[in-house]
Every structure is written in structure tokens, then in C-alpha cells.
Structure 1
Amino acid sequence: MKAIEIRETGGLDVLATVERSTPELNDPEDILVKLCAAGVNPVDTKVRANGPMLPDGLPAVLGCDGAGVVEAVGSDVTRFKPGDEVWLCCGGIGGPVGNYAEYILLDNHLAQAKPRSIGMTEAAAAPLVLLTAWEALHDRARLCEGQRVLIHAGAGGVGHVAIQLARAAGARVCTTVSSADKADFAHALGAEFCINYKDEDLVESVMEWTEGEGVDIALDTVGPEVFRQTIPAMAHYGDLVTILDPGDALDLKEARIRNLRISLELMLTPMLRDLPRARVHQGEILRRCSHLIDRGDLRIHVSQTFPLAQAAEAHRLIEQGHVTGKLALTMD
């Protein structure tokens, strides 16, 4: 099978198309999936540039999420049969298991039935960002109906699904964007109020929208500076969640005075620490998101696709920033 492999860390040139043996069933709980597409995420570019997140992780096949068709099943598998369509979030952080490939072998419990109403490309691009947004909003911030929620970078991969998940829960949403086109995109997803961070002051805009009270929940998808800027935009007793390392230079005096609950979100933890119960929970999240997708309350926006061999071009776009929605690789 063809796969995109890295044998050393570095720039775009370390991404190499290689021929690997197609994996074979070696455990009665395994399934072999013929991948149709793979999502491309910022973590892929970080693993390529900085190294695998698992020890002895080179050579590595990148790609944390994908979608495809079950080709073969182990003797104990009852959840799937050959021909079933699945989506999954497995591998891609070090070692030979990843979704930048034509096949992936995995425990059947790590895959879920693909939403019926979307194609393989959208399904492949969805799991990592859906799990991140759901865990951040529901598990970390305890999202409730009627709350006011700030989603940073609402036109991005995590941001565009976070807007929709918050709206599906009955929350009111404001978001930050970098252009009028992205504001239109965010409004179409359900954002009530958009802040162009290039031209508008974040705190002043949030306070205007909330009549001086601040937001109940904020999701930082950008990094330390945005995390710090968001603290004075929070309501007292609010929840501030970040999906990135907030950095060492933190002054949390104002956060403490506001009695903020600060949470860190990394959906890769179940893979990094081999936590089966957490993986079961993530499977339930994907099942619930599948229901939202199939009833029309959640959509995945893939702005551009690339053939598998052009993974470097997808990485280049992500590293330039400002991708709308998601990118995906296709195996055709």
C-alpha cells in the first residue's frame, strides 16, 4: 500500500510517499479499513516538524483521523462486517499506524459507523476536531442551554464545529474572525456576533455583546496571547478552556478574582496514555455527533482536498494559517 511516512523531523521535504505492506489481521478484535480519505490537522505539522509524541516513534505515518470501508474483520468482531463504512480517530502521533495511507489496521472499538448523510471526505476530516470541541465545551466547560459562549477562530477546523455544537446545545455564540468573508461563514454556522480581531478590541466587543457581563464560556484555539487577552472578557465564575499550552508567563490574578475555572483540553490523551475507558467515551461522542450530522444540525466544511501524494501542500497551507474549515487527503 502507499503511505506518507516521515523518517526524520523537519520541513515539508521529509514527507515521503512509500510502499508499505498492507497490514494483516493479527488480533481477533481487529478490523482492516481501506481508507478513502484522511483529515489533515495542525498536530500533523507539529509531529512532522518537532517529532513524534510517542517514544521510538520514527519512522511514522501521520494522520490522526480518517474514513473508509471495512475490508476484513477479526474472528471476534461483531460490530462491523466487510463493506461497512466507518470513521475513526486512531494513530498519527508516532509509529506505523496513521491515516496518511491506503489502509489502517485497528481495534474495532476505535472505529464508529460513518454518518449516513455525508461523504467520506467530510467524515475523514471530522473526528479530531469534533472530539476536541465536544470535550472542551461539554466535558471541560459543562456547557448549558442559554449560556453565552466565545469561540476563538470560528472559521477554523475546531472553531467551525464548536460554533455548531454550542448552538445545538442552545447556547448563544460569538466568535473571532479575520475577515468579512469568514464572518459571513461563521454567521451561517450559527454565530450571533463576530469580532474581527484585526480591527476590533476583543474585550470591548464582548462586553458590548454581553451588556457588560462577559461570556460564560470561552474556547481558546489560538494560543497563549489570546488566552491572556480572553481573561478580562470572561463573566465571573466562567469557564475558560484552551486546547493549547497557555505558556509559562501567566498572570492569573484577574482570573482568580473572577473565580474562573480554567481547563486544558487535549483529545489525544487516550492515545498518549492508553486509556480504554476514555476511548469508549470518545466513541460515544462520535456517535452523538453522527446523530447531529444526520439530522442536519452539524456540518463539516472541507475547503480543499489533495491527493495523498500531495500531503506536503496541505501542510504548507496549514502552516501559513487561516485555513477555513478543514483540509483532507484523498486516496483515489
Structure 2
Amino acid sequence: MKAIEMRETGGPAVLQWVERPRPELSGPDDILVRLHAAGVNPVDTKIRRNGPLIPDGLPAILGCDGAGVVEAVGESVIRFKPGDEVWFCWGGLGGPAGNYAEYRVIDQHLAQAKPRALSMIEAAAAPLVLLTAWEALHDRARLTEGQRVLIHGGAGGVGHVAIQLARAAGARVCTTVSSPEKAEFAHALGAEYCINYREEDLVESVMDWSEGQGVDIALETVGPEVFRQTIPAMAHYGDLVTILDPGPELDLKEARVRNLRLSLELMLAPMLRNLPRARIHQGEILRRCGDLIDHGALRIHVSQTFPLEQAPEAHKLIEQGHVTGKLALTMT
């Protein structure tokens, strides 16, 4: 099979177009998936630059997200049969088990039936950002109807689905964007108010929108400085969730006075640790997101696709920043 492999860390050029043996079923619960597409995420570029997240992970095939058609099943598989369409988020953190490839073997319990309303490309681009946004909003922040929610980077991969998930739960949403075009995109997804962070003050804008109360929930997707800037925009007893390391230089006096609940979100944890219950929970999240998608309450925006052999170009685009929605690699 054709695959993209990295044998050392570095720039996009370390991603090499190679021929590798097609993986074989090795356990009774395995399914062999012929991948049609793979999502490209910022974590892929970080692993390429800094190294795999698992020991002895080189050479590695990157790519956590995938979607394709089941070609063969192990003797104990009851959830799928050949010809079924599936999507999943698993692998890509080091070693050969990644999705920048034409085939993938995966345990049946780690895959879900692809939503009917999604193309293969959309399905491949969706799982990691859906799991991240859902866990941040529902599991960490305990989102409820009627709350005011701030989503940073509302036109990005996590941001654009977080807006929709918050709206589906009955919340009011404001978001940060970098241009009028991205504001228009975010409004179309359900954002009530957009803040151009290049031209407007975050705290003043949030307080104007929230009638001086601040937001009940904020999802921070940018970095430590934005995390710090968001604290005074929070309502008292609010939830501030970040998907990144907030950094060592934190002054939390104001967060303490506001009685904020600060949460960290890393949806990769079940892959990094032996967390079977968390894996089951993530499967349920994908199933519930699939229902929202098939009922028209959630959509995935893929702004650009690349043939598999052009994975380095996709990495370059992500590292330039400001991608709208998601990128994907295609195998067919």
C-alpha cells in the first residue's frame, strides 16, 4: 500500500511517500479498512516537529482521523461486515498505526458507522475536532441550555464544530475571528456575536454582549496569552476550558476571585493511557454527533483537500495558520 511515513523529526519534507505491506488482521476483533480519506490536524504537525507521543515511535505514519470501507473482518466481529462505511479517531501518535495510508487495521470497537449525511472526506476530517469540542463543552464545562458561551477561533477546526454543538444544546454563542469573512462563516454556523480580535478588545466586547455579566463558559483554543485574557471576560462561577497547555506563568488571582472552574481537555488521553471506559465514551460521542449530523444540526466544513502524496503541502498550510474549518487527505 501507499503511505506517508516520517523517519525523523523536522519540517514537512520529512514526510515521505513510501510503499508498505498492506496490514493484516491480527486479532478476532480486527477490521481491515480501505481508507478513502484522512483528516489533517495541528497535532500531526507537532508530532512531525517534536517527535512521536509514544516510546520508540519512529518510523511513524501520522494521522489520527480516518474514514473508509471495511474490506475484511476478524472472526469475532459482529458490529461490521465488508462493505460497511466507518469513521474513527485512533492512532497516528507514533509507529505504523496511522491513517496517512491506503489501509488500516483497527479494533471494531474503535470505529463507528459513518453518518449518512457526510461524504468520506467530511467524515475523515471530523472525529478529533468533534471529540475535543464535545468533551470540552459537555464533559468539562457541563454545558446547559441558556448559557452564554465564548468559543475562541470560531472559524477553525475545533471552533467551527464547537459553535454548532453549543447552539444544539440551546446556548448563546459569541466567538473570536480574524476577518469579516470568517465572521460571516461563524454567523452561518450559529454564532450570535463575532469579535474581530485584531480590531476589538476581547473583554469589552464580551461584556457588551453579555450585559456586563461575562460568559458562563469559554473554550480556549489558541494559547497561554489568550487563556489569560479570557479570565476577566468570565462570569463568576464560570467554566474556562483550554485544549492547550496554559503555560507556567499564570496569575490566577482574578480567576480565584471569580470562583472559576479551570479545565484541561486532551481527547488523545485514551490513546496515551489505558482508559477503556474513556474509549467507550468517545465512541458514544461520535454516535451522538452522527445523529446530529444526519438530522441537519451539525455540519463539517472542509476547506481544502490534498492527494495523500501531498501531505507535506497540507502541513505547510496548517502551520501558516488561519485555516477555515478542516483539511483532509484523499486516497482515491
Q: Which runs of 4+ in 1 moved over 4 A?
A: none
Pair 1:69 & 2:69 matched: yes
Query: Matches of residues 12-91 of structure 1 in structure 2 within 5 Å?
Result: 12-91=12-91
Deviation (angstroms), 1:118 = 1.2
Deviation (angstroms), 1:278 = 0.4
* TM-score normalised by L of structure 1: 1.00
Partner of 2:158: 158
CA distance in 2, matches of 1:277, 1:118: 27
* Aligned-partner SS, 2:255: helix
CA distance in 2, matches of 1:240, 1:118: 31
Q: Unaligned regions of 5+ residues in structure 2, if any?
A: none
Query: Matches of residues 80-119 of structure 1 in structure 2 within 5 Å?
Result: 80-119=80-119
Pair 1:255 & 2:255 matched: yes
Q: Over residues 79-99 of structure 1, what are the superposed CA-to-partner deviations in whole Å (9 max), with x where a residue is unaligned?
A: 000000000001001111001
Partner of 2:299: 299
Partner of 1:169: 169
CA distance in 2, matches of 1:4, 1:91: 14
CA distance in 2, matches of 1:59, 1:276: 26
Which letter maps to 1:127? P
Query: Matches of residues 197-276 of structure 1 in structure 2 within 5 Å?
Result: 197-276=197-276
Deviation (angstroms), 1:285 = 0.0
CA distance in 2, matches of 1:14, 1:194: 38
Partner of 1:182: 182
Deviation (angstroms), 1:246 = 0.2
* Aligned-partner SS, 2:237: strand
CA distance in 2, matches of 1:60, 1:108: 22
Partner of 1:313: 313
* Aligned-partner SS, 1:153: coil
CA distance in 2, matches of 1:278, 1:93: 17
Q: Over residues 89-124 of structure 1, what are the superposed CA-to-partner deviations in whole Å (9 max), with x where a residue is unaligned?
A: 010011110010000101100000000011000000
* Aligned-partner SS, 2:173: strand
Which letter maps to 1:88? F
Which letter maps to 1:23? P
CA distance in 2, matches of 1:297, 1:210: 25
Deviation (angstroms), 1:189 = 0.0
Pair 1:130 & 2:167 matched: no
CA distance in 2, matches of 1:48, 1:329: 16
CA distance in 2, matches of 1:224, 1:3: 35
* TM-score normalised by L of structure 2: 1.00
CA distance in 1, matches of 2:98, 2:216: 37
Deviation (angstroms), 1:36 = 0.1
Deviation (angstroms), 1:27 = 0.2
Pair 1:326 & 2:323 matched: no
Deviation (angstroms), 1:262 = 0.2
* Aligned-partner SS, 1:70: strand
Deviation (angstroms), 1:274 = 2.2
* Aligned-partner SS, 1:52: coil
* Aligned-partner SS, 1:174: strand
CA distance in 2, matches of 1:135, 1:118: 21
Q: Unaligned regions of 5+ residues in structure 1, if any?
A: none
Identity over the aligned pairs, expressed in percent? Answer: 82
* Aligned-partner SS, 1:61: coil
CA distance in 1, matches of 2:196, 2:286: 31
Which letter maps to 2:197? Y
CA distance in 2, matches of 1:11, 1:305: 20
Which letter maps to 1:43? V
CA distance in 1, matches of 2:80, 2:251: 51
Partner of 1:10: 10
* Aligned-partner SS, 2:299: coil
* Aligned-partner SS, 2:309: helix
CA distance in 1, matches of 2:24, 2:200: 55
Which region of structure 1 is more displaced relative to structure 2, 230-239 or 17-26? 17-26
Partner of 1:277: 277
Deviation (angstroms), 1:168 = 0.1
Deviation (angstroms), 1:275 = 1.0
Deviation (angstroms), 1:276 = 1.1
